[in-house]
Each structure stands twice: as C-alpha cells, then as structure tokens.
C-alpha cells in the first residue's frame, strides 16, 4: 500500500483521538505503508488540500497524550458530501487531486452515521473512477446509535461521565428539607442510550433518578407531572433525567415551541432547552422549587472521567482499521461484536459501510420498563463493561494542567 490519510468528522468525543492514535501507531509501524497523513477538518481538508504529516507524532509519549486528548486533534467538519453527479463533479475531482498528490492508498474516516455516508460515497467514487484507493470507516459517536456494532467508541466515556455526575447531582439536590425537582437534560437526538446511562444510579437499584425519559418513548406532560406529584408525597426530591430529543405522541419535540425551528445542514432540528421548558412546566403545574441542568458539551469532552475500556477499545479499533485496509478491504466500517458480558469479551470485524451510513439504532422497546428488575439487569449487563476503568490523567507536574496534544 502507498500512503494513508485519515480524517475526523461530526461531533467530538473523549475517545475519537484514541482511534486516531491507533491508526497513526499501526500505520507508522506497518512496513507496507509509507507516510501517515491527516486531513484537517475532515473531508473539507481533503477537498481544500489541508493535509498534515502525522509521522511526527508517532512516538509513544505523544501517542499516549493523544489518546487522552478530548475533542478532535485534526479538527472536524459538518460537511455532507453531495452525491457524485455532474453538478458536484468539481468537489470529487478536488478530492481525487489531493489523494493523488499525496499518493494515498487508503482514506480512513472516523465519525458517526453521517460520516459513514461520506465513506460509502467515496468508495463508490473510487470504484467508478477505477482508482486504487480504499475507503474505510471507523465508528465514533457518544450517542451509541450506530447499527450492527455492539456499541460505539466515545459512548462508554460519556456514559461514565453521566453516571458519575448524575450520582453527584442527586446528593447535591437532597440537602434541603423542601420539596424540589431537578431536571437533567442529556444529549442524544433520537437514541436514548446516554439517557439510560444517566439513569444508572436508579437502574443499579437506587431510588433516584425517579424519571428516565428516553426519546424512543412518547412523552406525556400529564404523566410526567403526575409521576412527580406522586413521588413528592413520600420524598422531598425528585430527579428526572431527560433526553434532549423527547417527543409527544404527535411527533413534535417537547419544548419546540421555545425554539426558532432552525435546522443544521443535515436537516436535524437544533435541540436544546427541553430541560428549561420542563422546569417552567413544573413551576407552573406544581409550584415547588425546580432546577434544570444542561450537561452541555461536558458530557462529550470530560476526558478526566474517560473510561479506560472505551479509550483502549477506540485505539484498538483504529489499529484494526489499518489491518482491514492492508487485507484489501474497502467500503467497510469496523464494528464491535460482543461475545459475552461476564467476563466481557468482544471481537472486532467489518461490515459493509452501507449497513451503517444514515441508519440509527435505538434502545430496544423491551428496555423501556426501567423499573423492572429483570430489565435493569439486562441494561446493567450491557452498560457496565463499557464504562469500566479509570484513565490516569497526564498532567503538567508543576501546575496540574492536563496535557493535550495539538496537531
């Protein structure tokens, strides 16, 4: 194989740089591969020839820091490649030009289901143009909403952040002897995996959070308020963890009335503020003390709470991606297959990228009843191996400032 090129795309996570580190490490170690290049800001860096040599950061020291650096060291983009046709020909020709200029034999793209669409389109394009270039997808999303793969790199660390932080918020909210409600808004546009993780203190047998509102389950304001009222008869504090993407049975997003209807370039509605909306609702309908908390970007960038299992798996899937390319595969995405929960065992294989591109995996309906001990056990068996282990932070000895790798 010639040189290889890698890019990162979509929203950041705590583990995406660990997959980058895996590709760099394996790529620079492989005698079949020349130089490992990186594209800044994903596919837009390929289109615009914004390419950087990554061989300089292949030392063990730098790889170790890169694995623990949150967000995306190469930068990201939210650019969706248009279908290959006459009107978009220019863009594809620019991509071809860059790949030829750097003598690229394989393009790796780390991202979610939108990014896998780019991998699928590039693979088609390379084949149509009979270019000897492979396209391989490496999964990444805190949302854990990709099909086929058991889970996605980045999810475990965000789940661990939510588990710990919601546990602490519960302690914080129970100190005053007054009736109060705390609403914690969790990321996850249409899949409730992160909200389930935020509900772990309850799912593992605790009292709280009393309400776990998944986007997969139609939201009823009446039921929400009546559940809170009922819980408040026996306790002072009710905590609800709520997905940003909860909808009424009508399909309308909860709190949408407070938004201006903007959509991002993928056509998704911009969401935020459901927590604030429910805060106002509780104030209006119950009148007790109420606070809403938006965990915002902290749930995707808190590398100080990264799960060791997640960081190690993200690295490994980067290594395996290079191996897949070396074995001649293209148009595929790497994925995890779970072999057993206890002891936790998995294998890493590939699947046709079209099985993942633009598709979503939701929380199964059999898990909606999070009060059922049997369901709680199933959820815990699935989630707990993914959030295992602490990463020892690498910090400046003198100041304690976390060290991050800048590319």
Catalytic residues: 143
Question: At its nearest, how many Å lie between a second copy and the CB of residue 383?
Answer: 10
39 near a second copy, judged by CB under 8 A = no
109 near a second copy, judged by CB under 8 A = no
| Residue among 77 and 106 whose Cβ is closer to a second copy | 77
Contacts with a second copy by CB under 8 A: the residue count is: 54
- Interface residue with a second copy, options 52, 93, 297, 339 (CB under 8 A): 297
Per-residue interface string for the shown chain with a second copy, residues 126-165, x marking contact by CB under 8 A: ----------------------------------x--xxx
176 near a second copy, judged by CB under 8 A = yes
- Interface residue with a second copy, options 7, 12, 34, 318 (CB under 8 A): 12
249 near a second copy, judged by CB under 8 A = no
Question: At its nearest, how many Å lie between a second copy and the CB of residue 207?
Answer: 11
Question: Can you give the chain as a three-state secondary structure string?
Answer: CCEEEEEECCCCCCCHHHHHHHHHHHHHHCCCCCCEEEECCCHHHHHCCCEEECHHHCCHHHHHHHHCCCCCCCCCCCCCCCCCCHHHHHHHHHHHHHHHHCCEEEEEEEECHHHHHHHHHHHHHHHHCCCCCEEEEEECCCCCCCCCCCCCCCHHHHHHHHHHHHHHHHHHHCCCCCCEEEEEEECCCCCCHHHHHHCHHHHCCCCCCCEEECCCCCCCHHHHHHHHHHHHCCCCEEEEEEECCCECCCCCECCHHHCCCCECCCCCECCCCHHHHHHHHHHHHCCCEEEEEECCCHHHHCHHHCEHHHHHHHHHHHHHHHHHHHCCCCCEEEEEEEEECCCCEEEEEEEEHHHCCCCCCCCCHHHCCCCCHHHHHHHHHHHHHHHCCECCCCECCCCCCECCCCC
Which one of 91-99, 208-216, 289-297, 368-376 is the stretch in contact with a second copy (CB under 8 A)?
Answer: 289-297
Which one of 214-222, 240-248, 362-370, 391-399 is the stretch in contact with a second copy (CB under 8 A)?
Answer: 391-399
| Residue among 3 and 19 whose Cβ is closer to a second copy | 19
Per-residue interface string for the shown chain with a second copy, residues 192-231, x marking contact by CB under 8 A: --------xx--x---------------------------
- Interface residue with a second copy, options 3, 18, 28, 44 (CB under 8 A): 44
Question: At its nearest, how many Å lie between a second copy and the CB of residue 205?
Answer: 9
384 near a second copy, judged by CB under 8 A = yes
Question: At its nearest, how many Å lie between a second copy and the CB of residue 182?
Answer: 8
18 near a second copy, judged by CB under 8 A = no
Q: At which residue do the structure tokens 């936790």 appear?
A: 344
Where do contacts with a second copy occur on this chain (CB under 8 A)? 12, 40-41, 44, 69-72, 75-78, 160, 163-165, 167-169, 171-177, 200-201, 204, 291, 293-298, 300-305, 380, 384, 387-388, 390, 393, 398-402, 404
């Amino acid at each position: 194989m010639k040189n290889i090129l890698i890019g990162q795309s979509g929203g950041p996570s705590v583990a995406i740089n660990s997959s980058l580190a895996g590709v760099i490490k394996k790529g620079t170690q492989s005698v079949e591969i020349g130089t490992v290049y990186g594209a800044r800001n994903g596919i837009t860096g390929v289109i615009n020839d914004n390419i950087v040599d990554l061989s300089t950061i292949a030392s063990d020291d730098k790889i170790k820091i890169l694995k623990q650096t949150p967000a995306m060291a190469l930068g990201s983009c939210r650019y969706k490649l248009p279908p290959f046709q006459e009107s978009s020909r220019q863009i594809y020709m620019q991509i071809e030009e860059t790949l030829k200029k750097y003598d690229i034999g394989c393009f790796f793209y780390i991202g979610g289901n939108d990014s896998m669409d780019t991998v699928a389109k590039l693979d088609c394009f390379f084949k149509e143009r009979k270019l000897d270039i492979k396209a391989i997808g490496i999964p990444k999303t805190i949302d854990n909403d990709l099909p086929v793969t058991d889970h996605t790199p980045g999810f475990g660390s965000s789940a661990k952040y939510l588990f710990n932080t919601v546990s602490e918020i519960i302690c914080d909210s129970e100190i005053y002897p007054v009736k109060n409600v705390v609403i914690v808004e969790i990321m996850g546009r249409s899949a409730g995996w992160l909200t389930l993780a935020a509900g772990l203190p309850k799912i593992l047998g605790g009292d709280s959070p009393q309400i776990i509102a998944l986007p997969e389950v139609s939201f009823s304001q009446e039921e929400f308020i009546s559940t809170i009222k009922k819980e408040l008869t026996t306790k002072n504090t009710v905590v609800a963890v709520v997905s940003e993407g909860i909808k009424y049975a009508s399909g309308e997003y909860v709190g949408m009335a407070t938004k201006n209807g903007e959509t991002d370039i993928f056509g998704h509605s911009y969401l935020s503020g459901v927590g604030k909306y429910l805060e106002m609702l509780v104030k209006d309908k119950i009148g007790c003390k109420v606070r809403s908390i938006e965990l915002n970007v902290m749930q995707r960038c808190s590398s100080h709470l990264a799960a060791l299992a997640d960081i190690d798996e993200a690295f490994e899937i980067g290594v395996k991606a290079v191996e897949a390319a070396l074995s001649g595969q293209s148009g595929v995405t790497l994925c995890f297959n779970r072999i057993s929960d206890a002891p936790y065992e998995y294998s890493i294989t590939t699947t046709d990228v079209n099985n993942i591109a633009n598709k979503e995996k939701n929380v199964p309906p059999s898990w909606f009843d999070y009060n059922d001990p049997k369901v709680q056990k199933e959820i815990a068996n699935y989630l707990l191996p993914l959030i295992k282990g602490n990463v020892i932070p690498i910090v400046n000895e003198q100041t304690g400032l976390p060290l991050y790798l800048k590319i």
